[in-house]
A = this chain, B = another copy of it.
Amino acid sequence: MNNFVNDIADINKDFAQWYTDVVLKTEMVDYGPVKGTMVIRPYGFAIWEKIKGYLDAEFKRIGVENAYFPMFIPESFLKKEAEHVEGFAPEVAVVTFAGGQELSEKLVIRPTSETIIGEMFAKWIKSYRDLPYKINQWCNVVRWEKTTRPFLRTSEFLWQEGHTVQASAEDAEQDALKMLDIYKNTLRNYLAIPTLTGRKTENEKFAGAVATYSMEAIMKDGKALQAGTSHNLGQNFSRASNIKFLNKDEKLEYAYTSSWGVSTRLIGALVMVHGDERGLRLPPKVAPIQTVIIPIASKKEGVLEKCSEVAKTLKDAGLSVKLDDTNNTPGWKFNEYEMKGVPLRLEIGPRDIENGVAVAVRRDTHEKTELHLNNIAAEVASLLDEIQANMLHQAEINLKAAIVQTDDFDTLVNKVNNGKIALAYHCGESTCETEIKNKTTIKTRVIESYSTAHKCIYCGKKSKYCVYFGKQY
């Protein structure tokens, strides 16, 4: 019935269409006029603002400062770092004409700012006294993709890219790990998304990194979504950008850098981890509207007044609330806000007011309970906490259910092709991993643990680690 009313595809029959229907119909996003671009509408952008605000505070807490670097990168910069250019060249957009004339040097629009930030670091950093240096920027980046989907893969998207410079390899490694930790905790505690986090294999690491760490969220269709990465770049980018510093022994040394980022992809992860047949389900902490108030028999005397009074009480308590006093029917409104994923709905009618209660309906469990109007703010707040905790709990159950441990390769392929993530031992050989990918299109996600006590699931040689295999977005 809801599906009919809200007219979104069946999540169990066509997950991809369900996703597109949900993000468009909830007005989180729309297609831009240029193919592959997206317009992030207020309902979607409000979520990004919350994620941004939360993460930005976390970054600043550990001494990261924000800055802004130009988006135009001289074409020559991308060629400085062979592996780097290899990674991005096919995806870049190029400005060849500006200010009424052909440019002498073409300008690449940043697919990431590594090279331009490296150039500035080389200019700014002279001595170990200048270190550590921790910079972050919130900006738009461009990666020209053939096939695109709102939030998941678009030609232009928003992200944050952090870059740190350290005087030792250990400190750069620590930065990379610390950021992975901040990301993991943010997803868990704020977005209610548990993740598989760990190191990427040599085959799957970022071009030019010593080590790439990733957090992978598992969508309801069993596919993994790389939700954030953190790279220990060692001295690779310092060499490419000539970032040298005078160390304590007064010797010039290449600096050690790290970089890390998350993007508007996180909004796609929210949708695909928590959504259900009725549409979006937003964890209270990140929901633009935490509670919607729906007047019942709103023409009846005192109903709208009481609803506004409750709305004000909740606002004053710091909760985000919306009172829908439009002429639409209550039923229509129920569907509307369920589709929009509002965590809690309060229904207030004449009888409820007589009884001094509001009927509360949870989006996560559809449970109905009665809250006392004379204590509404406190009761709503604790109910929202319950919902936040329960949504994480549900997501953890789904994550566990999605993982299958196996030592049989055919089982691995079969399970992964049927929407599971497989955990298996692997020899760690690049050639072996590549063969698996070419044969099955299945890739490794992150390394779960190291052990030489087992056999590689594919080649049978001695295992190096236990790693997650899966399909990805």
Chain A residues within CB distance 8 Å of chain B:
30, 32-34, 37-42, 45-46, 48-49, 65-74, 77, 89-100, 106-107, 109, 116, 119-120, 123-124, 135, 139-140, 144-146, 155-156, 158
* A94 in complex: contacting residue of B41, B89, B95, CB < 8 Å: B95
- A-B contacts, 9 listed (Cβ < 8 Å): A32-B116, A42-B66, A45-B67, A91-B99, A94-B97, A95-B96, A98-B144, A99-B146, A140-B140
CA distance A218 to B455 in the complex (A): 75
Judge whether B71 and A140 touch: CB under 8 Å.
yes
Q: Are B39 and A68 in contact (CB under 8 A)?
A: yes
Q: Are B119 and A33 in contact (CB under 8 A)?
A: yes
| A98-B107 in contact (CB<8A) | no
Q: How far is the CA of A40 from the CA of B39 in the complex (A)?
A: 26
Interface contact A39-B94, CB-CB below 8 Å: no
Asked if B39 and A70 sit within 8 Å, CB to CB, the answer is yes
| Cβ contact of A93, chosen from B69, B98, B144, B158, cutoff 8 A | B98
Q: How far is the CA of A42 from the CA of B281 in the complex (A)?
A: 37
Contacts of A116 in B (CB 8 A): 32-33
Other contacts beyond A33-B73, A39-B68: 20, CB < 8 A: A32-B70, A32-B72, A32-B116, A33-B70, A33-B77, A34-B70, A34-B107, A39-B67, A39-B69, A40-B67, A42-B135, A49-B66, A71-B140, A71-B156, A93-B98, A93-B107, A94-B96, A94-B97, A96-B96, A140-B140
Nearest Cβ in chain B — how far from A85, in angstroms?
13
User: Considering residues A94, A156, A158, which has the most beta carbons from chain B within 10 angstroms of its beta carbon?
Assistant: A94
Please give the count of copies of this chain that the complex contains. Answer: 2
Which chain B residue shows the least CB distance to A92?
B98
Closest 6 CB pairs of A and B: A99-B144, A42-B65, A37-B70, A93-B98, A32-B70, A40-B68
Specify the chain B residue showing the minimal Cβ separation from A134.
B42
**How far does the Cβ of A46 sit from chain B's closest Cβ, in whole Å?**
7
For A96, give its contact among B48, B74, B97 (CB under 8 Å): B97
Q: Measured between C-beta atoms, what is the minimum distance from A34 to chain B in Å?
A: 5
> Chain B's nearest CB lies how many Å from the CB of A66?
5
Task: Looking at the assembled complex, report how far the CB atom of A136 sits from the nearest CB atom of chain B, in whole angstroms.
Answer: 10
Q: Contacting A38 at CB < 8 Å: which of B49, B65, B70, B100?
A: B70
Residues of B within 8 A of A140 (CB): 71, 139-140
CB of A156 to closest CB in B, whole Å: 5
Cα A119 to Cα B329 in complex, Å, equals: 31
A36 to chain B, nearest CB (A): 9
* Shortest distance from the beta carbon of A130 to any chain B beta carbon, whole Å: 12
Contact of A95 among B32, B73, B109, B146 (CB under 8 A): B109
A40: chain B residues at CB < 8 Å are 67-68
Q: How far is the CB of A387 from chain B (nearest CB, A)?
A: 24
